[in-house]
Each structure stands twice: as C-alpha cells, then as structure tokens.
Amino acid sequence: MQFQNTIAYGTFFNAGGIFNLVADTWTIFPFAPESKLSKNTNAYTTASEFRVQVQETGMYFIEFSFVAEDGDGKTYFIRPYVNGSVYNNVGEGMTIKFFQQQTEQKYEVSTHGLFALTKDDIVEWRLSTPVLSSLDLYANSIKMNIINLQQIGVH
C-alpha cells in the first residue's frame, strides 16, 4: 500500500530577462522556473517556459508576479492557463490589465487566484498586448507561489 497525502506547495523563481511578444498573441513566459521550495509540485521542465505541475488534486491558492522595467506606456494583459487552456474564461475571468511604465522605471506586476486543479495539471501565465512597444519589455524576478488549501489527513 502506498502512503497518500495532500500536502502540496511550492515557490518557483527565474531571474527573467527580455520578453519578446507578438501583438495580439498570448505568450507564455519564456523562462524555465527553478524550484526554491516544493512538495508535490514541480517545475515542468520539458520546455524552457515558466510552467509548474501539481501532483495532488485540490483547491490551490496561486500567486504570480514579476518586476517589469522600461517602456513607453503600452497596455498589457496577463492571465492564467491550465494544461494549455485559458483558466476561468467567464467574462473577464482572471485576466488583469497593466500599463507599461515610462523608461527607466521598475514596477511589480502581480496577480493571484484560486484554482481547482487535478493531479498532473500544468499551470502557466501568459502575457499579451494589442500593440507592441517600441522598447523591450523586461520581465525580471519572476515568481510563482502555489499552496494546496485542501491539505487533509495525517501527514
């Protein structure tokens, strides 16, 4: 008999860099995550993209953030995907809008939400803009925290 538990959490990070986008296209963060702390979650490492896989079914609280810098005031959108599909796409769903700040400024973009996930689901965040900026968008200090809220049983 195999011991089962529902404990699942993780903190994943990447230093980031220049984020190359195509206008009106949802693009995954092209930086592979490094696990700083995790149990029953892992960096999904089949590609160099920021994806995390859960290994326990449950309701998860997930935070995602990065530090952006430079810009010329363009509008950007960020939203979560699970297994390659938009997560909670009712109305605006979990999509948030942010504005690229003026040149030489740094600013944090952060979002969070509750996710009903099943074992082996893969979570990622994607970015889109209707009009490309004349300046590179830097996505630095990318971080995802993930915690299973349904930790039950004897551990």
Provide mean pLDDT across the span 36-62.
90
pLDDT at 26 over 60: yes
List strands edge to edge, sheet with 9-19.
34-39, 9-19, 137-148, 58-69, 106-117
Instruction: Read off the pLDDT of residues 83-101 as tens digits, 9 standing for 90 and up.
Output: 999 998 655 668 888 887 7
Q: What angle do CA 50, 53, 54 make, to 5 degrees?
A: 145
Q: What pLDDT was estimated at residue 5?
A: 63
Q: What pLDDT was estimated at residue 153?
A: 56
**Domain boundaries of the chain, sorted by first residue:** 9-148
Chain mean pLDDT for the chain: 87
* Residue 155 CB partners (closer than 8 Å, separation 6+): 5, 7
Name the CATH code of domain 9-148 (choices 3.30.830.10, 2.40.37.10, 2.60.40.10, 2.60.120.40).
2.60.120.40
pTM beyond cutoff 0.75: yes
* Residue 86 CB partners (closer than 8 Å, separation 6+): 79, 80, 93
Kind and range of the H or E run holding 138: strand 137-148
Provide mean pLDDT across the span 123-139.
90
Q: How many residues does the chain have?
A: 155
pLDDT band, very low/low/confident/very high, at 1 (cuts 50, 70, 90): very low
Amino acid in the structure at residue 134: S
